[in-house]
Amino acid sequence: MKKSVKKISKGLKGEISIPADKSISHRAVILASLANGKSIIKNFSKGQDPLSTLQICKNLGVDAEFKNDLIINSTGKLCSPAGELDCGNSGTTMRFMAGVLAGQNFNSILTGDKSLSKRPMKRVIEPLTLMGAEILSKDNHAPLSINGKNLHNIDYVSNLASAQVKSCILLAGLNCEGKTTFTEPYISRDHTERMLKFMGANISTCRNTTTIEKSVLRPQIIEVCGDISSAAYFIVAGLIVPNSEIILKNVGLNPTRTGIIEIVKQMGGNIEILDLRNVSGEEVGDIKITYSSLKAVTIKGEIIPKLIDELPVIAVLATQADGTTIIKDAQDLRNKESDRIKAIVTELKKIGADIEETQDGFIINGKTELQGGCEVETYHDHRLAMSLYVAGLVCNNPICINGFEWVNISFPEFEQLCNKLLS
């Protein structure tokens, strides 16, 4: 699907509600499936990735249906699946479910689409194997054939700050005797820890180390807040499109996810948090954004895990900031749905950005008047597609985005909400 995007001059105006957080939706359906009883998940994400996780839980014998809210009835025990478990395009699904399934009393196979099958799984296979798991793979890539075993606890020190790896080990540790610990160099997003605690797990965190013991989860009513990764595209658009003033409602403001807000403030962006509150163990609020004059910054180190998914659209933001923005320590971008470093540099250059690729990030010189007037590619990557759409809003000439349908992986409502702010 091709999508044409052209420059707008009147600005973005109004307010929109941000759709459900995908990260929290994944966790909600998995943990509700592992609890004994009835859980109610309000505002579950309709993105394809969380729906892949939901379908796998159903294939494992969990009773789940939508009645406005998502109702999960579970015994807390999973059943052997009738066939392979398809994770679609979702690395989160595959890595989380590997942790869940490694300790079951049955065998299973996790598969995915062509893109997912290229993504590295050694990062979860290795620690799970240390716990006693038996996982067969194609050179540490999907499909993963998991022979269920009784696992034992470990103390694992990761050289990568990764919420997916951490969550995988914590989910495996739920059924292990003793204490399972996970230590990471920086604190990655902590939705799993918060929800496990919310549902009664014996879990604690001290600095960069999280410890979990064998636990029985309680069913809960879980309200999923809006996804800050989805809000990021509107935050950037509101900052760079002249005459814009918008409010984004019901956005998750978990401190391990708000790196983009910290960076916007460093760049001099006009951003304000309204009505801060707590919902199902997560900080939530509304965000007001106004068009701003921006200055360049250096983004590196421990803030990277707090904005790793937002870096493609932050690159767009940096093209409209005065000075040289440097992004480093982000080499894991090369292991996403695409090599996001190479992809974003290649496509932004096409439309006139002054951007150069480095091994672990990129260097962007601004402020640049983006020209557009060309076709750009998405590389089957939903985040790249939406980042290019935002860039198109300030290009002098229209751009045509090839493969725009990949937006549906995470944010099927994206274009509809854009149009609402344009009307």
DSSP letters for 316-385: HHHTTEEEEEEE-S-GGGGGSSS-HHHHHHHHHHHTT-EEEEETTEEEEEE-----B-SEEE-TT-HHHH
Rounded CA gap, 354 and 38, in Å? 54
Q: Give me the torsion for CA of 372, 238, 328, 164, rounded to 10°.
A: -110
Closest CA to 234 of 372, 7, 44, 419: 419
Which tokens hold the place of 98?
A: 């590997």
Rg over alpha carbons for the chain, rounded to the nearest Å, is 21
Strand extents, DSSP E, 21-62: 36-42
Contact 1, 404 (CB under 8 A): yes
**Residues annotated as part of the active site:** 309
Nearest Cα residue to 370 out of 397, 345, 401, 402: 397
CB contact set of 330 (below 8 Å; sequence gap of 6+) = 299, 304, 308, 311, 341, 360, 361
What letter would DSSP give residue 219? P
Pairing of strands 85-86, 107-111: parallel
Estimate the share of the chain in helix, then strand, then coil, as percent rounded to the nearest 5. 35, 30, 35
Distance CA 243, CA 221 (A): 41
Burial 330-357 (b: 16+ CB within 10 A, else e): bebbeebbbbbbebbbbbbebbbbebeb
Tokens 């610990």, located at residue: 181
Helix (H) or strand (E) holding 66: strand 63-67
Rounded Cα distance, 260 and 225, in Å = 17
Interior angle at CA 167, CA 263 and CA 358, nearest 5:
40
